[in-house]
Each structure stands twice: as C-alpha cells, then as structure tokens.
Structure 1
Amino acid sequence: MNEERKPAEEYVVIRHRPGYRFRRTAILLVFTIVAAVAGYATGLAQGGFRFSSVEASNEVLEDELSALRDNYTKARQQVINLERGRAIDEQALNQARTSIVELETRIASLKSDLTFYKNIMAPSETSKGLQVDSFTLAPDRQTGGFDFKLVLTQVGNNKSYIAGLVAVNVIGRRDEEKEVIALRDLSGEIEDLGVKFRFRYFQDVEGTLALPEGFEPLEVQVVAQAEGKKSSQAERTFDWDDLTEN
C-alpha cells in the first residue's frame, strides 16, 4: 500500500541585517522632520503676507470706526440741539398759552366791566335808580369761611349821589327749622344791621363771613333802602348753591 506523499514544507530565508529597522525608522523620522520644517517655513512666509494684509485691513477698520464715532458724536449733538430746541419751543408755547388764557380772562373781565358801565350809563326803561347788581361768594381756605362782595349801582340818573342803608341776611335751616341770620352776626367787618352806602355810580361792600355749626344756608337776601330825594328800595335774593357752585 502506497502512502500519499506530502509536499515538502517550504521555508523563506530572510537575510538578517542587524540595525536595519532602526535605520529605516530613523530615516523616516528625519524625512518627517524635514517636511515639517519646510511646511512651517512655507506657512510662516505665507502667514507673513496674511499678517500684512490683516494689518492693512485693521487700519481701514480703525479709520472707519473713527469716522463712525465722529458721525455718531455729530448726530448725538444734533439730537441734543433738537431736544433743547423742542424744550424751548414747548416752553415758549406754554408761555404763549398762559398769556392767551390771561388775555382771554382779561378780555372777559373788560367785557363784563363794559356791560356793567353801559347798564349804569344807558339803562333800559325798566331798570333805573338804585339796583342790587351782584353778590358773590368765594371760599376762604385760611378761615374756612367765605369772602363776600356786594355791588350796588345807581342806574340812569348819576348826576347826584344816592345814600342809604343795605341789609344782608342769610336764610337757611337749623334743626329742621327755618332761620334768618343777619350778616352782622356772621361777619366781623359788619357792626350794624344795615351797612351805609353813598355813591354816584356804584359801591362795593366786601368782607368775610363764617356760618355757625349745624346751619344749612339756602339763600342770601339783600335789601337796599335809599333815603332823601332819591328814596327807593331795591331787593334781590341769591341762591346759595348758585353762589358756591364754582
């Protein structure tokens, strides 16, 4: 019986070179270092040009920034000037408005005075002689009372004086009962029941009054009595709410 012949095993013979791997590694390392140095030198050269370019760009940017700062400063100054101008304009406008209001108030006052004098000098046929022209009240914050002003006029014939007495009463309620209080009992400036008057055109009677506690005023009654040749009487009643609504 023939046995199957096995192929002979092959062997590769490698020449043994002591230090070969070390030299090869060293050569590769040297080439790597040389390549790195060359690349660094090239990059440095190119980088120098880039740096110069960046430096130039930086100068341009600095110039632009400086110009922008100047423009910003100018613009801000313009805004400040406009704001100041607007403030001045607003102040002038407010002053003008105040002056207009004062003028309108003065005109209204003059018109009222003109009407007042016209009524005295050129009255209608139904209103001549002694007249109770007006009675006004204004709150007095210091005393808590009221400042009053009564105006008497002589309408029509003003060639001679008219004289007499005028009485003022405040009509109201206290404890659900009607009560009439003379001005003398409400005002320190009035001493008598009747206030004397003597004038040709008009006369004012002014003072302050204070209401007693618990008294509810409803009306103010004014009665003027002229004496002598021009003897006559004028009477007028004013609603308290109308006098104090303002």
Structure 2
Amino acid sequence: MAIKIPQYIIREAPTEQSFVRRYWLLITLLVLIPISFVGGLMMGNGLLSDWVGSANSLQNLNQQLENENQQLLSRNSLLDTEAKVKQQAILELQESYNTLLVQNSELQSEVNFFQNLLVSNNNAKGLRIFDIDWTQINPGQYILTLTLAQKLQKAQPIEGDLKLIVKGQLQTGEQTAAKEVVVNEKFAFKYYQMIRQTFNFEEGFYPLEVLVELTTDEKKPRSLSQTYQWLEIAENH
C-alpha cells in the first residue's frame, strides 16, 4: 500500500491596511480644513483690521482736509470783506477829497471876492454894482447873481429899489420880436449884498443884455444904471 504524501499549498495571507493608510486623505482633509479655516479667519481678521485702520486714516485725513477747507473759506471771506472795506474806504476818501477840493475852491472864491472888494474899495465913492453873473439851471431857466457894494470906510446902512431888465428877442415860428423881462427887488446892506434872482424864459426867448437900475431911499435919492451884455457876463466868469 502506497503512502500518500500530503500536499500543501502555501499561500500568502492577505495583509490588511491600517486605518491611517486607508483613510489618510480623509484625515488630511479633516486636519487641513480647520487649519485653513483658522488661518483664513486670522488672515481675514488681519485684513479687516488693516481695512478698518485704513478707513480710519482716510476718515481722519478727510476730516483734516475739511477743517483746512473751512479755514481757507473763512480766510477767503475775511480777505473779501477786507477788500470791500478797503474799496469803500478809498471811495469815501476820494469823495472827502473831492469835497475838500470844492470847499477849497469856494473858500478861494470868497477870498478872491473880499480881496477884489477891498481893492476896488480904494476908488469907490458910494453905491456900486460890484459883480454880476448868471448860471443856467435848465433850458430857459437861469439864476442871475448881482453883488452890490459901497465904500467900506464909514459905511452906513443903505437901502433902495432894484430893477432888473433882461432884453432879448423872442422867436415865434419865422417871426422875431424884441422882448423884455422885468423884475423888481429891494436891497438893504451896509458893506455888500448878494441878490439872486431866478428867470424862467419862455421857449424861443434869447437874452441879449441886462439893464440894472438902482434907486436909493435916502433923503437925497440917487439912481444908478448899468447895462451888461448877456454873453460877456458868462465870458468874464
């Protein structure tokens, strides 16, 4: 009887992978996700802090610029006010200067008047017509100024009647006729007197000459008359 030799088959036992090897990807993801989240959160907080800091810096800069702008506006307003005040002051000074010039001219005219009055007084013997002048106010309207005087030494009050006769021509259409405008006044003075009379000539009247007649009311009446050419009166002044 033959002896059977047992036959054995040697097989390699299957090796089982460890848990870590089997699930390393999952474990890696589970580890990386929190780390990434924490890192992202920390980075986000850093970026947020930087953004907040930048925003605060920009806000502070904006506030500073607004303050500087307000200061500039206030300064410009002050400079504008100063310019207006200076301009008004210059205008007022100019007006005051012009007023002083006019006053100086008037004072000079008065000084000249009194100087001429004193100079002409040396040859004066009594009542006289010292000066005559006219000024046009409006078309056809004139102011005639007559200055009467007498000898200043031992002068006594004097009074009388004054007659002003303006002779001229009145043109109506193609016709021209002679016309007189007569004004009666009173005078009374000791050294001198200025008499102003307004004339309102009708349209078409052209004055040519002025006749001045003076008559005193003294015990011994005295009359004085003198004729002046209208245009020569203006030329002499």
Shorter-normalised TM range: 0.5 to 0.7
Mapping for residues 50-129 of structure 1, pairs under 5 Å: 50-123=47-120
Mapped pair 1:217 → 2:206: yes
Aligned AA (1:61): L
Distance in 1 (alpha carbons) for counterparts of 2:61 and 2:224: 96
Aligned AA (1:159): K
**C-alpha displacement at 1:238, in angstroms?**
2.4
- The CA deviation string for residues 200-234 of structure 1, in whole angstroms up to 9 with x for no partner, is 43222234332224x23243414244555876443
Residue 208 of structure 1 corresponds to which residue in structure 2? 198
Unaligned runs of 5+ in 2: 1-31
**C-alpha displacement at 1:119, in angstroms?**
0.7
Question: Would you say the 8 A contact 2:166–2:207 is kept in 1?
Answer: no
Give the aligned CA root-mean-square deviation in angstroms. Answer: 3.8
Aligned AA (1:121): L
Structure 1 45/234 Cα, relative in aligned 2: closer, same or farther at 3 Å?
Answer: same
User: Highest CA radius of gyration, 1 or 2?
Assistant: 2
**C-alpha displacement at 1:39, in angstroms?**
7.7
Mapped pair 1:148 → 2:148: no
Normalization by structure 1: what TM-score?
0.63
Q: SS state of the match for residue 94, structure 2? A: helix
Question: Would you say the 8 A contact 2:151–2:191 is kept in 1?
Answer: no
Distance in 2 (alpha carbons) for counterparts of 1:105 and 1:205: 22
Residue 135 of structure 2 corresponds to which residue in structure 1? 137
- The CA deviation string for residues 107-149 of structure 1, in whole angstroms up to 9 with x for no partner, is 1001001111111112287888612512323436xxx863524
**C-alpha displacement at 1:69, in angstroms?**
1.3
Residue 10 of structure 1 corresponds to which residue in structure 2? none
Mapped pair 1:238 → 2:215: no
Structure of higher RCO (CA pairs closer than 8 Å, 6+ residues apart):
1
Distance in 1 (alpha carbons) for counterparts of 2:140 and 2:186: 24
Distance in 2 (alpha carbons) for counterparts of 1:240 and 1:166: 20
Aligned length: 199
Normalization by structure 2: what TM-score?
0.65
Distance in 1 (alpha carbons) for counterparts of 2:233 and 2:197: 19
Q: Give identity over the alignment, percent.
A: 17
**C-alpha displacement at 1:57, in angstroms?**
1.1
Distance in 2 (alpha carbons) for counterparts of 1:90 and 1:173: 52
Question: Would you say the 8 A contact 1:128–1:156 is kept in 2?
Answer: yes
Unaligned runs of 5+ in 1: 1-34, 185-191
Q: SS state of the match for residue 154, structure 2? A: coil
